[in-house]
Amino acid sequence: MLTPITVTIPDAVKATGISRSALYEALKRGDLIARKAGRRTLISFADLETYLASLPTYEAEA
């Protein structure tokens, strides 16, 4: 299966498990970049992967 070049907000929510609100907050902070194609908001799949990699890792307490 081919990796998409861009994803819409609903597809990004499904792919990452991050809430729609959290994605829009990341866009507002500039942590994530989106582009508009007509009325559709598109996020580069590569940018989405980079954003996810930049999130802090989970460390369980002992």
Asked if residue 59 belongs to a domain, the reply is no
Give the rounded distance of the alpha carbon of 60 from its chain centre. 25
Range of the domain at 39: 6-54
**What does the pLDDT read at residue 47?**
95
Cβ proximity of 3 and 28 under 8 Å: no
What pLDDT digit, counting tens, does each position of 2-39 carry?
A: 888 999 999 999 999 999 999 999 999 999 999 999 99
CA angle 30, 33, 8 (to 5 degrees): 130
Task: Name the β-bridge partners of 37.
Answer: 40
Asked if residue 61 belongs to a domain, the reply is no
**What does the pLDDT read at residue 62?**
67
Query: How many domains is the chain built from?
Result: 1
Residue 43 dihedral angles phi and psi, to the nearest 5°: -120, 130
**What does the pLDDT read at residue 19?**
96
Q: Token digits for 26? A: 């990341």
